[in-house]
Structure 1
């Protein structure tokens, strides 16, 4: 499940953020009669179609894995989680329909009506992601049901189900906002990095400048907003999941005020190789100069998460996010002062690396969230050992899934590289399988 989610989440980010970026460049092309922007929108739409097709496969695998790998979760809690999963499926179909209309609507629909096809497509991507995040947020903030523990021969039961309350649980809005903004960071830096790589190779035409600037603007805004949302989300942990916060901060004992502990590992019950900044931990984690962070020594050992994995993943996420924030602010400050960093090869090299760094930050964020909740699948209700399947045949299914994901990764790389080469060679009209024939020039002029 970790492999599948870690792979699929990157494609989910493109489903959330890419349609908005395509809308911006397409609208610019219509309003300003800019052929460069229109060409960029057309290319990005085809890339989006490839990623959507691959995401459909990985999403289908995930839907099967929910039932196969987590019978202890989906059995008793299926009625609780069914609503967001149903909405996610509907959102997927809506997104697919309008993506198809948008792809095949070039030169066949009035320009502004064609542009509007991106709006339901973008909304559907956001709604689908919200539904999936709502399930994860519910695991962290379980509500909307009554859990009756097992007694004697009577198995545990889930009663008084309120799926709407479960879907719109106490933590869903901040967790979704964190994911939504993170998607724009990832996609913005990844797409900008592609054009930064082209600029490093001497392609400094209007196409590459616009292709870099638009996603970099989105990534810059997201990198500024993300620490604020993350801070608000983290403030809830002291009350809702103190063991996760203790692992984040590597707090072995309760300290008031708590230091900010940079680096370090917990080895044989002792923190080693850490650098402490006094009081800053309380300020960041509790919004207070005096409130402490509950220590791991107050939490039973069997209820503690894997501390080192949680701590390292959290700090890597924060470190990369801070680095990207500084880079984005520095770029726009320098541009405001009249210096264009897109002519600086060192900055372009960093922009190329920023995309993979954003991916690592997003993956580490999910590792911190999921591993930090352990040993619970549903916080304080269902332990992971009771939720997961114990079938001996799972290793075979894992091997098959691994081969499928490797194949999709290689296939996506080959297809996208082939498309890029043909575009550079001047072949703009890439054929689409089962698509309608391209409109003739006389038909385009009539429209």
Structure 2
């Protein structure tokens, strides 16, 4: 029930709190994905450099490692902001359910420290350790990054499918943190997120070199800089499409209201078509392309399966349908476009062991990083906005969890300024790193690049 204090806090402060959280999560998730995917791609480059003796791989690895250090630092800042926001903005959630979902946050903290320690070793011991030993120091970075993503997403999965506790007299009892962390939503959601991280990292890294190649830099260094991360992302993409279908089927079974919003279904029925495009006007999806039987078949594997419509739930329990519907459309559209790019690369490589020679391929690759980020953000909009008005699905409303103190809008303004400064500083530093040339060395020490890279 909404208390008088919480009613007084809504709607302006509730909207400010939700917008601030959306900004923080939307910003942090991009950096976090790069932090999960970049270390693995960097290690592959370093391993290939040692295995083949190709100095271009080693030069790429060293440059990517420097970028990893910058992104880890800014990710630590944005992650710290998020940790404070969870308590400051949502005391109703953390105060009631903190003991239920505290375990994954604690484990994420351990993974973060492991990642920080080994990242320091990896960055500063490059010329102080044997090549194989240095390569091995990067392995914990990869494992800790993936573990961090897993632990954090399990907490969000719990908010989608709360388990591991019982309610008695308005109190939380019989808490089982492990059952809460490994709830039914955990497998599809964590898998979907981790694969998305590798897609974002791979396509984003490749897009930088695609732009350089469009500007005429067609040397081996830039070709490998495009090919290696793009190959990783291309391999992950079709797997992600399959996992996305798994996640959608989970939503169909456990969050039918979210599914109805994703597809703009207002009336319960059988043999429901799949909708492409369209906009909701007056509780009706208009101007959409309908694929007969598509939604029933994809959601339940049966073309005659029943799909629940939004007309079965009170209007107050419905999410904003246009936002969720278009978030889903954008995510799927970008995912299919990236799948097409992956297929293009795979076909060209199978035919002649080379990149496609068309400039349109380079243009598409240059846009792939943006498309991957857009798909990521749209997917999280579907996940989070589609759960509304619940912060804990079916258990606690978002309005009941918000901080009742007035003036939350000023916190949003302050955080917006912080993220604007952080964005500008991050872009500036990364651009400087990209422009810096390796330090030339004496002629007798030069390799085929003309620069010392080890």
Coarse TM-score class (shorter-chain normalised): over 0.9
Judge which range, 342-351 or 274-283, deviates more.
342-351
CA distance in 1 between counterparts of 2:440 and 2:212 reads: 18
Conserved 8 A contact 2:227-2:355: no
Aligned partner of residue 47 in structure 1, secondary structure: helix
Q: Show structure 1 runs of 5+ residues with no match.
A: 150-155, 430-439, 442-446
Q: Deviations over 1:265-311 (max 9, x none)?
A: 22112221111111111111211121021111112222111111001
CA distance in 2 between counterparts of 1:88 and 1:62 reads: 13
CA distance in 2 between counterparts of 1:213 and 1:100 reads: 27
Q: Deviations over 1:183-237 (max 9, x none)?
A: 1111111100000011111111111111111100111112111110010111122
Of residues 342, 361, 375 in structure 1, which corresponds to 2:375?
Answer: 361
Conserved 8 A contact 1:320-1:357: yes
Aligned to 1:371: 385
RMSD: 1.8
Cα deviation for residue 416 of structure 1 reads 1.1
Of residues 227, 237, 247 in structure 1, which corresponds to 2:251?
Answer: 237
Aligned partner of residue 127 in structure 2, secondary structure: coil
Aligned to 1:188: 202
Matches within 5 A, 1:377-388: 377-388=391-402
CA distance in 2 between counterparts of 1:100 and 1:414 reads: 22
Aligned partner of residue 52 in structure 1, secondary structure: helix
Aligned partner of residue 386 in structure 2, secondary structure: helix
Matches within 5 A, 1:405-420: 405-420=419-434
Q: Deviations over 1:112-160 (max 9, x none)?
A: 01000111111111111111100000001100001235xxxxxx21111
Aligned to 1:138: 158
Q: TM-score, normalised by structure 2?
A: 0.91
User: Is residue 213 of structure 1 aligned with residue 227 of structure 2?
Assistant: yes
Conserved 8 A contact 1:253-1:295: yes
Aligned to 2:79: 59
User: Is residue 427 of structure 1 aligned with residue 439 of structure 2?
Assistant: yes
Of residues 64, 81, 85 in structure 2, which corresponds to 1:44?
Answer: 64
User: CA 1:369–1:418 in structure 2 vs 1: closer, same or farther (change >3 Å)?
Assistant: same
Aligned to 1:68: 88
Aligned to 2:352: 338
CA distance in 1 between counterparts of 2:50 and 2:344 reads: 32
Aligned to 2:280: 266
Cα deviation for residue 338 of structure 1 reads 2.9
Cα deviation for residue 339 of structure 1 reads 8.1
Cα deviation for residue 390 of structure 1 reads 2.8
Aligned partner of residue 306 in structure 2, secondary structure: coil
The alignment of Structure 1 onto Structure 2 pairs a total of residues equal to 425
CA distance in 2 between counterparts of 1:238 and 1:107 reads: 53
User: CA 1:256–1:428 in structure 2 vs 1: closer, same or farther (change >3 Å)?
Assistant: farther
Aligned to 1:350: 364
Aligned partner of residue 276 in structure 2, secondary structure: strand
Conserved 8 A contact 2:166-2:175: yes
Aligned to 1:197: 211
User: CA 1:114–1:268 in structure 2 vs 1: closer, same or farther (change >3 Å)?
Assistant: same
Aligned partner of residue 286 in structure 2, secondary structure: strand
Of residues 133, 143, 146 in structure 2, which corresponds to 1:123?
Answer: 143
CA distance in 1 between counterparts of 2:363 and 2:145 reads: 31
User: Is residue 3 of structure 1 aligned with residue 23 of structure 2?
Assistant: yes
Conserved 8 A contact 2:344-2:356: no
CA distance in 2 between counterparts of 1:190 and 1:353 reads: 9
Cα deviation for residue 174 of structure 1 reads 1.0
CA distance in 1 between counterparts of 2:25 and 2:201 reads: 17
Aligned to 1:98: 118
Aligned partner of residue 197 in structure 2, secondary structure: helix
CA distance in 1 between counterparts of 2:301 and 2:404 reads: 43
Conserved 8 A contact 1:189-1:215: yes
Q: TM-score, normalised by structure 1?
A: 0.92
CA distance in 2 between counterparts of 1:126 and 1:64 reads: 23
**Structure with greater contact order relative to length (CA < 8 Å, sep ≥ 6):** 2
Q: Deviations over 1:236-257 (max 9, x none)?
A: 2222111001111111111211
Cα deviation for residue 335 of structure 1 reads 2.8
Aligned to 2:14: none
CA distance in 2 between counterparts of 1:390 and 1:237 reads: 31
CA distance in 1 between counterparts of 2:107 and 2:47 reads: 29
Cα deviation for residue 342 of structure 1 reads 4.4
